[in-house]
Structure 1
Amino acid sequence: MAKYIREILQLLDDYYGAEYRCYLSHENAWQLLTATILSAQCTDDRVNQVTKELFKKYDTLEKLAAADISELEQDIFSTGFYRNKAKNILASTNMLLEKFEGEVPRTMEELTSLPGVGRKTANVIRGNIYGEPSIVVDTHVKRISKKLGFTDQEDPEKIEFELMKVLPKDHWISYNTQIIAHGRTICTARKPKCGECFLAGYCREGRKVTGRKDDM
């Protein structure tokens, strides 16, 4: 299993590079926190379109925390679930000011104490802002990790802990962005390009299509 994983990670490094990349546009921690809350059930491209104007309008944490909720709902309407997202953004930004002196905390416990922040959002902050090794289980990471045989779980938190066991810690962050890129370009959910995939021999579905098999 260890050799199998090393081979997969090397192929990912070779194809996508090992540098970490965040797909949500931001200039600081509170902007990334806001963008990640908005990204629930929404594409990063759409979020980036919305936050481009949002962060011009509310260019400080204090301004965002003081926003009128009805106006904020309209500002973020196109991201979906806008009422709940607006409520969580206002509650979390106010909590940052009142409890954390305007700073986004770095520990899992403190981050998940913020309204609207679960482990996925917390790990985005920990990895991007603080460089803490973390695994973000989004739809691509969940789907492709299962195909590669890294997990059979459905619950994102259980998948996160299983991946933490099988993946070397120095690859946790890069694995996130590599798999997200792979899921968007090659191993797409609706029509995976198995014939073009360099991981086909390691994938449960890819083996069926290509006939190639790389043992664990």
Structure 2
Amino acid sequence: MNKQTRQKMFEIFREENPEPKTELEYADEFQLLIAVILSAQATDVGVNKATRKLFPVAPTPQAILDLGLEGLKSHVRTIGLYNTKAENVMKTCRQLVEQHEGQVPADRAALEALPGVGRKTANVVLNTAFGQPTMAVDTHIFRVSNRTGLAPGKTVLEVEKKLLKNVPKAFLQDAHHWLILHGRYICIARKPRCMACAVSDLCDYRHKNL
């Protein structure tokens, strides 16, 4: 996929969805961080169902600490791997209170030092909460990047680096959300919905399977 094709692809994404947003529900940087930690190997729908009950009673790091581990588990037990996630959330809240005055740091190294926070989670928070042009490569973005020819790579990090290089700068801030939504609803894993795809004419996959 050449530079002109990539430019056209993102122009179409922007025309279709001028202000793409995460489907996770949150009120501030802290709630976004917790929602993203909980979303690993889980759906946004499932996470939102749990956090709609959790955040009203525990909206801050200290409030979650006051809730206690068992209290937290009672709110997130419908989410996969909830035991491990709850423990990581408690440790993260403790670290935020003790090291960051209860605030979520806008720094990659500080974010990745939090329990349960890897590169992808840090990228989501940096992009969505702090407006940094990062690229959080999940299974959807990995698939879309390889299938379309936008940023092919064998590893998540390779795809991330290629996306940061290949996505036109004017679209980089929102590209993460456009690509996730495209992979979630159009360029799905088993049977991509090419007939409903606004960028199918630009896609390597479509050309190979005509």
Same-fold call, TM cutoff 0.5: yes
Equivalence map 1:81-92=2 (5 Å): 81-92=81-92
Deviation at residue 5 of structure 1 after TM alignment = 1.0
Q: Which moved more, 1:200-209 or 1:174-183?
A: 200-209
Residue 152 of structure 1: aligned partner: 152
Residue 178 of structure 1: aligned partner: 178
Deviation at residue 84 of structure 1 after TM alignment = 1.0
How many residues in Structure 1 have an aligned counterpart in Structure 2?
A: 209
* Inter-partner Cα distance in structure 1 for 2:24 and 2:65: 20
* Inter-partner Cα distance in structure 2 for 1:60 and 1:95: 13
Residue 27 of structure 1: aligned partner: 27
Deviation at residue 198 of structure 1 after TM alignment = 2.0
* Inter-partner Cα distance in structure 1 for 2:65 and 2:172: 32
* Structure 1 unmatched ranges of 5 or more: 212-216
Q: Which moved more, 1:81-90 or 1:162-171?
A: 162-171
* Inter-partner Cα distance in structure 1 for 2:61 and 2:90: 10
4+ aligned runs moved over 6 Å, structure 1: none
Task: Report if aligned partners of 1:119, 1:157 keep a CA contact under 8 Å in 2.
Answer: no
Task: Report if aligned partners of 1:137, 1:156 keep a CA contact under 8 Å in 2.
Answer: yes
* Inter-partner Cα distance in structure 2 for 1:73 and 1:20: 31
Task: Report if aligned partners of 1:25, 1:32 keep a CA contact under 8 Å in 2.
Answer: yes
* Inter-partner Cα distance in structure 1 for 2:172 and 2:77: 33
Residue 120 of structure 2: aligned partner: 120
Q: Secondary structure at the match of 2:41?
A: coil
Deviation at residue 99 of structure 1 after TM alignment = 0.4
Task: Report if aligned partners of 1:186, 1:197 keep a CA contact under 8 Å in 2.
Answer: yes
Residue 93 of structure 1: aligned partner: 93
Task: Report if aligned partners of 1:50, 1:76 keep a CA contact under 8 Å in 2.
Answer: yes
- Is residue 16 of structure 1 aligned with residue 14 of structure 2? no
* Inter-partner Cα distance in structure 2 for 1:4 and 1:92: 42
Deviation at residue 141 of structure 1 after TM alignment = 0.9
Residue 48 of structure 2: aligned partner: 48
| Pair 1:184–1:82, CA change in 2 (3 A) | same
TM-score by length of 1: 0.90
Residue 214 of structure 1: aligned partner: none
TM-score by length of 2: 0.93
Residue 197 of structure 1: aligned partner: 197
Task: Report if aligned partners of 1:112, 1:118 keep a CA contact under 8 Å in 2.
Answer: yes
Alignment deviations for residues 173-208 of structure 1 (CA, whole Å, 9 cap, x no partner): 311111222222222223211122222222232224
Task: Report if aligned partners of 2:30, 2:60 keep a CA contact under 8 Å in 1.
Answer: no
Deviation at residue 73 of structure 1 after TM alignment = 2.1
Deviation at residue 30 of structure 1 after TM alignment = 0.9
Q: Which moved more, 1:178-187 or 1:30-39?
A: 178-187
The alignment yields a C-alpha RMSD, in angstroms, of 1.5
Residue 78 of structure 1: aligned partner: 78
Residue 57 of structure 2: aligned partner: 57
Deviation at residue 91 of structure 1 after TM alignment = 0.6
Identical columns (%) = 34
| Pair 1:81–1:163, CA change in 2 (3 A) | same
